[in-house]
A and B are shown apart, each in its own frame.
Chain A
Amino acid sequence: MAIALPEQGLIALRKSVSRRQLYSNLFAIVGLISILVALVVLVALIIHLLSQGLTSIDWQFLTSPASSDAEEAGVFIALVGSGLVMLVTTTLAVPVGIAAGIYLEEYARKGWLADLIEINVTNLAGVPSIVYGLLALGLFKYALNLGESIITAGLTLALLVLPVVIVTTREAMRAIPSSLREAAYALGASKWRMVKDHILPYSMGSILTGIIIGLSRAIGETAPLVTIGALTFITFLPDSPIQPTFPFISFSWLLSPFTVLPIQMFSWVSRPDLAFEAKAAAAGAVLLALTLLMNGFASFLRYRLRKGIKW
């Protein structure tokens, strides 16, 4: 038979419960304040950037090269430079990163070596970007003699993005339940068929999201590109990849000098003329818009590719 709690005990119990509820509520308040601090700073930053730069953003700003006259200066060359560097980065980092991720997750034998590689790749994702810049300076610029060119910058940023792509690929593939792998194997699929027909399509949404997040980190990188010697003032475009004469396609743009948006912004900030400060803010707004656009695209892809795929 259950014994009824005496009056005294009941009061003590209620006290203890309300004390614990108080702690619980306190934590919720601390958490809310933390979020607000982060949000307010972000919003203030964006508002500041836009209020300074928005008036400078017009068609002329987007289509003009850099100039020593603040009135005429624009981000066109930097925009093209950013685009071309990201093109090289994507072309190199994405296939290599996905292939490496597939190999590590599906093919490599599990053991201490695999663990060691995994720890290293994860740590590489956190290495400061300037360190990659130093590596690129020695390897690409001097040892391979690629100069202060778009290809050097693309390779450098590809190194930076590669671990992110590998880690995301592995995590996306790991999220696929082993029952689906076994189902494919039980029908007589080879490892490659299983990866190609099942693992890759089911995890593509998450992989692409990771890639785009990695790339939007790369597009804002300044330090490693300054290290390899990106120009801060440049008024001409790289050679066009399409030529009027045979063989019509040229890769000489890969070896052109370049600048990118964040470097352009940095160079304007460091000028004494105050008129350039507004230009810098405008370039920052363009960069921010690009990053937001890429993240939005990532969300869109994730939504589209995951539709109908669930387990």
Chain B
Amino acid sequence: MVSETSGHRSQSGIAHKAKVEAVNLSFYYGGSKAAIKNVSLAIPEKQITALIGPSGCGKTTLLRCFNRMHDLYDNNRYEGKILLDSTVNLISTKIDPIEVRMRVGMVFQRPNPFPKSIYENVAYGLRIRGESRRRVIDQKVEQSLQQAALWNEVKDRLNDQAYDLSGGQQQRLCIARALATDPELILFDEPTSALDPIATANVEQLMLQLKDKVTMLVVTHSMQQAARISDYTAFMYLGELVEFDQTSKIFSAPAQEKTRDYIGGRFG
């Protein structure tokens, strides 16, 4: 498997080791046609990879394959492989989706904290892993909130309701919640589309700070955002991966005409 895909890697000039790799991945909603068609994509470790493309191109659908979110709804079907560390196939029916979600975190389009306290929101992932030592949880909650650049704003009111926070703070809380369990990959589904420009800037800066800790895959509706934060960019169209390369290359000299048209604002 590794030899088969290494050719693809050198061809597109990917310099980093792959953390997660989709190999000939297809996905079907219910019994309908493929929403993702034969996508092969190697996501570089400890880098930010952006998924861009026009609405309905399948970028969110692709993202949700990586933590088996589609398993929550009946009759969805995957084909191909998603390899984590070149060994574990995340979409194998032999792997429990819970195991996948323990290793792959996710941040959603709209902030969705639980209607519980700030502290309990961050602690929840640890609690479902069976952690009950107060000291360990306290420490991890503080560390995660600090990593999410939220600690200074909430350290005096950890027991307040998460809903009392502003939208941008809620989204950073959701990032802290995902970080608390030390995921190897975090999926971001248009994480700033419900936020104002200042909150967006905060979240983007936070993502850049997290780069040395975790691999990130971001769906974004905004090409500017992809250009600002990502190291690699994948352009999707009609369920297919059109082009994947370093972000600088995609935005300056795309190889495919379709990519050039989209970047140039010809459609989308």
A contact set with B: CB distance below 8 Å: 109-110, 177, 179-190, 193, 197-198, 202, 308-311
Contacts and interface: CB of A to CB of B under 8 A. Distances in A.
Contacts of A109: 74
Nearest to B177: A187
A140 to B, nearest CB: 38
Interface stretch (B6-14, B86-94, B124-132, B209-217): B124-132
Contact of B110 (A179, A181, A188, A189): A179
Interface stretch (B43-51, B101-109, B134-142, B199-207): B101-109
B192 interface: no
A202 B115 contact: yes
Contact of B105 (A186, A193, A197, A310): A186
A310 B161 CA distance: 10
Nearest to A190: B98
16 contacts: A182-B69, A182-B108, A182-B112, A183-B108, A184-B124, A185-B69, A185-B72, A187-B101, A188-B99, A188-B128, A188-B181, A189-B98, A193-B128, A308-B161, A310-B163, A311-B163
Given A182-B112, A188-B181, A311-B115, 8 more contacts: A183-B114, A185-B101, A186-B67, A186-B108, A187-B105, A187-B181, A308-B161, A309-B115
Contacts of A197: 124, 128
Nearest to A307: B161
B106 A186 contact: yes
B102 A188 contact: yes
B174 A188 contact: no
In the A-B complex, list the 3 residue pairs whose CB atoms are closest, starting with the nearest. Answer: A186-B106, A188-B102, A179-B112
A311 B161 CA distance: 12
A174 to B, nearest CB: 15
Contacts of A188: 98-99, 101-102, 125, 128-129, 181
Contacts of B177: 183, 187
A184 B115 CA distance: 12
